[in-house]
Amino acid sequence: MGGVRWAFRCGSWTPTRSEWLLAARCVQREEKERIGQFMFAKDAKSAMAGRLLLRRLVCDRMGVPWADIRLERSPKGKPYLANPACSSHESLGWSFNISHQGDYAVLAAEQRLQVGVDVMKTTMPGSSSVPEFFRIMTRQFTDYEWSVIRRAGSEWEQLTMFYRHWALKESFIKAIGTGLGFNLQRAEFHLSPEPIAEGKVCRRTTMHLDEEEEEVWTFEETVLGNDHHVAVALGPSHTVRSVPPPALTYPPPSFTFLSFSDLISMATPLFEEDSAYWENFQKKAEAPERQRLTATV
């Protein structure tokens, strides 16, 4: 069985009342409550899509009934299946990770490998110039990486290269599950000479860890929607020994886009409907529009 790469366009998803309430019934109660605490609707949508992606994967590929899925987070925030006793033989050795930023939520999963994924949208800095933004972020990249970023061309092209590097670093950190304490300058990326583009997956970027090339790690890169960089980090599993890295035995998979219907096609509602949850979401969705109208008066 090959790896899984799924994406959901949460930016263009405008959930109806029935969709949002159904989605809320199909995630764990504490997940529903956490999602309900987001200040902005776009963040709530992204988080909801991420949880549904995870549950769809566990149900579809790992053979765990939807109602039996229990997802938890490691102390560093990486999701994992907390009730392996109820899972089937198919679930053994799976590693999975999600990311959501900008207009997309993405999931990557593999067997017998550690997996981390990150998506980053190229955007202009909100409150500073590009040079000032780069100055603030100086310690996040090595001198070599900064030379690559600054040689990219225009300020927009430099930002694009910045976020490409950032997605790569985040994918590695999420794969190894170390969290914010990892010194990002330890991992230096040497980008593939071939350009990355939407619909094309590149697997030629390499990483130097503590100034030595890491040959056991593979990095996949692609672009979604022209301005979203996606990086998938694939490394050796700590739980499976003496197994050749399967990621190198088949072409890198492209991301498959799922609809909301796809996300909940195997779902089983876990508890009763909460109409107040929709009202709370509507208030979040209406707030940015009210702010926009106020600003134009």
Task: Encode pLDDT of 1-58 as tens digits.
Answer: 579 999 999 999 999 999 999 999 999 999 999 999 999 999 999 999 999 999 999 9
**Residues 95, 4: contact at Cβ < 8 Å?**
no
Number of H helices, E strands in the chain: 8, 12
**How many residues are given for the chain?**
297
Task: Encode pLDDT of 251-277 as tens digits.
Answer: 889 999 999 999 999 999 999 999 999
Q: Across the chain, what does the average pLDDT equal?
A: 89
Task: Encode pLDDT of 186-234 as tens digits.
Answer: 999 999 988 888 989 999 999 999 999 999 999 999 999 989 999 999 9
Q: Please report the pLDDT score of residue 232 as a whole number.
A: 98
Q: What is the pTM of this model?
A: 0.91
Backbone angles phi, psi at 117, to 5 degrees: -135, 145
Amino acid in the structure at residue 158 = Q
Name which residue leads in pLDDT, 160 or 247: 160
Amino acid in the structure at residue 123 = T
**Residues 207, 217: contact at Cβ < 8 Å?**
yes
Burial (CB count within 10 angstroms: exposed 0-12, middle 13-18, buried 19+), residue 126? exposed
Q: Please report the pLDDT score of residue 267 as a whole number.
A: 97
Whole-angstrom distance, CA of residue 204 vs CA of residue 216: 13
Could you tell me whether strands 79-81 and 71-73 are parallel, antiparallel, or unpaired per DSSP bridges? antiparallel
**Three-class secondary structure of residue 191 per DSSP:** coil
Check whether 294 has a pLDDT greater than 80: no
Backbone angles phi, psi at 20, to 5 degrees: -65, -40
